[in-house]
Amino acid sequence: MANETVQGLKVAILVTDGFEEVELTEPRKALDQAGADTRVVSPKGDEVRGWNFTDWGQTLPVDLKLEEARSEDFDALLLPGGVINPDKLRIIPAAVAFVKAFFDAAKPVAAICHGPWTIIEADKARGRRMTSWPSVRADLRNAGADVVDQEAVVDGNLVTSRMPDDIPAFNREMIKLFAGARRQRQAA
C-alpha cells in the first residue's frame, strides 16, 4: 500500500448504530494513513455506536448527517458491515439513494461483510462479481451477483470482502481501487 496514494480523496463512510467496529476503524485508518479525507456519514445525529464482535463497542462522532450529505462531494464510498448496521441502512431510502448515486456516477465503492446488503437494495449487485459474509451470499446470488469465496474481490469500481479476518486484503485492494479513481480524477 505504500506505493498507492489517495492523497486528498474524499471518502464517505456510511454507517448507523451496529457497524462492526474493526470494519470501520481499520479501513479508515488505512485510508487516513494513505492521505484520504474520511468522513462518517449517518442518518443518526451526533454519534454512532459500533459493535465489537459480541457486544456494543465504542461510540464515534458523525461528521455529516446523511440528510446533509451529497454524493457529489465525495470521491469514494466505504460500507462497513456488521449485521445491524446494513440491515438498518437498507430500509432508509436516503441511505439507499446515497449508495446508488456512487454507482451511477461510476465512483469506487468498498463493502465488507454484510455491507453489500445496501448494494443489493440499491439494485447494483446484478452482474457483479462479489463476496460477503457467508449468510449474505444467497441474497447476492438472488440479486444477480456472481458470488465467490475470496478474501477480496474487485469488479470494476467495486471491491468486496468477507469478514474482519480479511481486512488486510480488503484494505490493500480498496486503496488500489481508490488510488486509481484519484488518478482518473487528476487526468480529467
Which alpha helices (DSSP H) does the chain contain, by range? 21-33, 84-89, 93-104, 116-121, 137-142, 167-187
* Grid cell for residue 33: 494513513
DSSP secondary structure code for residue 105 in this structure: T
Q: Is 127 helix (H, G, I), strand (E, B) or coil?
A: coil
Known catalytic residues? 113-114
**Cβ atoms 30, 171 nearer than 8 A:** yes
